[in-house]
């Protein structure tokens, strides 16, 4: 039996994503479905962040970045933030 992670988007992050153009939302949705929903190892496509963002993982979605927290005990990936690469780390 393979162990897979669930992907969760809290309401504040969902509202932020909803504010983007349809093309950006579609690109993000496609990325999430392909790489994060029911993922066996969500770290394969991401990169661990350092310094003030330690404990978070970053996924490149075109010119945008999706920051997530990966909880191995509950097998969930929780979206923390989504923004253009020029704005995400500010």
Q: Structure pTM? A: 0.92
Q: With contact defined as beta carbons under 8 Å apart, do 53 and 69 qualify?
A: no
- The pLDDT value recorded for residue 1 is 58
- The pLDDT value recorded for residue 55 is 94
- Orientation of helix 11-18 relative to helix 22-35, angle to 10°: 130
Pick the CATH number of 6-84 from 2.60.220.30, 3.40.30.10, 3.30.2310.20, 3.10.20.90: 3.30.2310.20
Closest of 29, 38, 43, 40 to residue 6, by C-alpha? 38
What is the rounded CA–CA span in Å between residue 84 and residue 69?
Answer: 18
DSSP 44: S
pLDDT along the chain (90 residues), means of 10: 88 98 97 93 95 95 97 96 93
CA 52 from centroid of its chain's CA atoms: 17
- The pLDDT value recorded for residue 63 is 97
């Amino acid at each position: 039996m393979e162990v897979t992670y669930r992907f969760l988007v809290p309401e504040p992050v969902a509202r932020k994503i909803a504010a983007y153009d349809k093309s950006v939302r579609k690109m993000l949705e496609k990325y999430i479905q392909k790489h994060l929903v029911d993922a066996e190892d969500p770290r394969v496509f991401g990169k661990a962040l350092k310094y003030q963002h330690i404990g978070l993982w970053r996924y490149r979605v075109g010119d945008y970045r999706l920051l997530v927290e990966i909880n191995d005990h509950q097998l969930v990936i929780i979206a923390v933030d989504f923004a253009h690469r020029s704005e995400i780390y500010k």
